[in-house]
Amino acid sequence: MTADLVDDVFRRLQKEGFQEIALEFARENVEQIRFSASSTDLHNYWDEENLSVFAAMNGRTVSTVIKDPASVDQAIIRLKEVALRTPENPSFVSINREHQTYGNGMRSHFQSADLQDLQNAMINGSLAAGAERAAGLIYNRNSEITVKTSYNECQFSTGGLEGVIRAFKGPFTGQEAQHFGFSTSPTGKTFEEMGSEAAATASATSRMSEINPGKFRVLLSPYVMGNILSYSSGFLSYYAVETGLSCFAGMLGKEISTGEFSLYDDPEDYSGVGSRMCDDEGTPTSRLEIIGQGKLKSYLHSTSTATRAGTGTTGNAGIISPRAWQMSLNAGKTRFENMLDDLEDGLLINNAWYTRFQDYRNGIFSTVPRDGVFLVKGGEVQGALSGIRISDSVMDILKNVTAISRERKRVKWWEEISASTMPYVMVDGINISKAF
């Protein structure tokens, strides 16, 4: 498939009577290495091309993905058939019709990094720091993307390196999961340090502690904040607000956290793998203030949701359902080591997973801490905890933030944490439950 084919598909859709068209052509080279018990499990290599099609005819919308040039004819026949035989889609108003200009962005400097060497550096780093074994993976991604709409055309590159390492020491574990976009130059040393850090967490204590369920002051790591905010990002989409499934509904302009808390969507940050120059309908992306000094400033919008809400697009299409690209929680004023001192009697939680909601409208959820869950007294780790949960609500956690660290990490892990930059965050009165 080539850029010529994109133009050809575009012309043919126009000829079939589609008035508004948004195409996204992605050429992706992805290499992955996976390892466990400190040795390689599998190398994966993907070389793929996708043409995502969104098209509208008289208020009817259709979409598909074309992967094979040979299937273009069939795909266009099917799209027209569906458009003629389905009702109008009221969620769609239009794509962005304004003529846009784009910056230079960040061109790819995709390098065929030796993933085996980087893997060995991570494993050796963890073993040297006391881990008994390590598991993890590394990705090297490079995507060349063209977005062509009825009104605009934008081309950019995105991708970079991602590394995940989990260190094991007896019953204790530690994990690091970071991402490095095109403006960074991670080396073997970078990956070795990730291994060391994961092992340091796994080695932080050799004692187990017990607590009763209740309310605790908790120091949440960048991974835990990344997890909670990744899962919550869907609630910030106006799509969820409109549907009636968002705990942020009706909160625009209201204070929902401490004045130190500012959350951005920052797709212009090329140090992360979530960078992006434009959204799915060709609107240039920019740094969006979602929560500013504790107040909810904006939902995530496409042209369609923004029109329905009486505001402007934020460059977050998803044409029907807007989404965040790369969230960034601002750095605070406090050093991490001082936050540990300030904890007094509390918990330090380094990672969490399996976040599930019983109530989207009120943001009530629980998540399972892992990879470094510690009882802290007087700034010192007393022992590790197992079998506990954060069982609380997104809104209460945001409301009870008391401090944010100066230090931040670029975090990304599996389906649990989308590419983001997060600090440590202290929260008072988090409800902790446990198994009986």
Partner 1 sequence: MGGELIDRALEYASRSSRYSEARYMEILTNDLSYRNSEFEGMDSGKESGYAVRVINNSIAMAYCDREDWGRLKEAIDHAVRISMKPGKSSIWEGNSIKDSWKVNQRKPIEDMSVEDRVTLARDFDSLMKSAGADVRMNVIHDKRTKQHYVNSVGSDIRGDVARLYYFYMVGVIENGEFEQSTKEYGSSSGYEYLDSLNLEERITSDVRDLHESASAPRPSPGKFDVIVGPEISGIVAHESCGHPTEYDRIVGREGALAGESFLTGKKFPFRIGSENVSVIDDPTIQGSFGYYRYDDEGVPSRKRYLYRKGYTDEFILNRESASMIGRDSNAGGRSSSWDMEPLARMSTTYIEPGDYRFEELFEGVRKGIYIKSFTEWNIDDIRFNEKYVGKEAYLITNGDLSGRVRRPVIETTTINFYSAVDAVGRDLEFSAGMCGKGDPEQGVDVWMGGPHMRLREVYIQ
Q: Which 235-274 positions form the footprint of partner 1 (CB under 8 A)?
A: 243-245
Residue 3 makes contact with partner 1 by CB under 8 A: no
What angle, 0 to 180 degrees and rounded to 10, lies between the N-to-C axes of helices 188-202 and 115-128?
30
**Cβ closest to partner 1, residue 330 vs residue 391:** 391
Phi and psi, residue 345, nearest 5°: -100, 110
231 burial type by CB count under 10 A (0-12 exposed, 13-18 middle, 19+ buried):
buried
* 12 counts as binding partner 1 under rule CB under 8 A: no
The percent helix, strand, coil of the chain (3-state, each to 5) is 25, 40, 35
By the rule CB under 8 A, 168 interacts with partner 1? yes
Helix axes 72-85, 3-15, angle to 10 degrees: 30
Q: Which of 360, 88, 362, 409 is nearest to 224 (CA)?
A: 409
78 or 333, CB closer to partner 1?
Answer: 78
User: Cβ of residue 286: shortest distance to partner 1, in angstroms?
Assistant: 27
Find out whether 256 and 395 touch, Cβ atoms under 8 Å: yes
Q: How far is the CB of 84 from partner 1 (least distance, A)?
A: 9
Which of 96, 149, 152, 175 is close enough to bind partner 1 by CB under 8 A? 175
Is 307 near partner 1 (CB under 8 A)?
A: no
- List binders of partner 1 among 361-420 (CB under 8 A): 361-362, 364-368, 370, 386-387, 389, 391, 414-415
Minimum distance from CB of 122 to partner 1 (Å)?
A: 10
Question: Of 5-13, 46-54, 146-154, 268-276, which segment contacts partner 1 by CB under 8 A?
Answer: 46-54
- The least distance separating partner 1 from the CB of residue 69, rounded to whole angstroms, comes to 9
Q: Does 70 bind partner 1 (CB under 8 A)?
A: yes
Residue 165 within binding range of partner 1, rule CB under 8 A: yes
Q: Tokens for 342, please give them.
A: 């300030």
- Out of 5, 26, 82, 331, which residue is the one contacting partner 1 (CB under 8 A)? 82
Region binding partner 1 by CB under 8 A among candidate stretches 3-11, 202-210, 257-265, 347-355? 347-355
C-beta of 27: minimal distance to partner 1 in Å?
Answer: 11
Q: Is 336 in the site for partner 1 (CB under 8 A)?
A: no
User: C-alpha angle 278/94/104, rounded to 5°?
Assistant: 15
Q: Which of 18, 156, 231, 357 binds partner 1 (CB under 8 A)?
A: 357
Helix (H, G, I), strand (E, B) or coil at 351: strand
Q: Which residues pair with 262 in a beta bridge?
A: none
Subset of residues 182 to 241 that bind partner 1, contact rule: CB under 8 A: 213
- The tokens for 249 are 């509904």
The correct pick among 34, 295, 399, 406 for binding partner 1 (CB under 8 A) is 34
- Closer CB to partner 1, 59 or 379, in the complex: 59
138 neighbors 32 (Cβ within 8 angstroms): yes
Q: What are phi and psi of 390, to 5 degrees?
A: -85, 115
**Rounded CA separation 400/93 (Å):** 38
Taking CB under 8 A as the rule, does residue 358 contact partner 1? yes
What residues between 95 and 154 interact with partner 1 by CB under 8 A?
Answer: 116, 133, 135-137
Q: Tokens representing 162?
A: 């991602």
Query: Is the CB of 203 or the CB of 366 nearer to partner 1?
Result: 366
Cβ closest to partner 1, residue 59 vs residue 383: 59
Please report, for residues 110, 177, 362, 412, 420, the alpha-carbon distance to residue 416 in angstroms, rounded to integers and kept in the order given: 26, 11, 21, 8, 11
- Least distance from C-beta 303 to partner 1, angstroms? 15
Q: Which of 46, 58, 286, 336 binds partner 1 (CB under 8 A)?
A: 46
Distance between CA atoms of 226 and 336, rounded to whole angstroms?
17
67 counts as binding partner 1 under rule CB under 8 A: yes
Q: How far is the CB of 237 from partner 1 (least distance, A)?
A: 13
Structural contact between residues 155 and 26, judged by C-beta atoms closer than 8 angstroms: no
**Number of residues lying near partner 1 (CB under 8 A):** 82
> Token pair of 145, please?
């993307």
19, 74, 111, 183: residue in contact with partner 1 (rule CB under 8 A): 74
Dist. CA 316–CA 302, nearest whole Å: 6
Whose CA is closest to 195, among 183, 185, 184, 203? 203
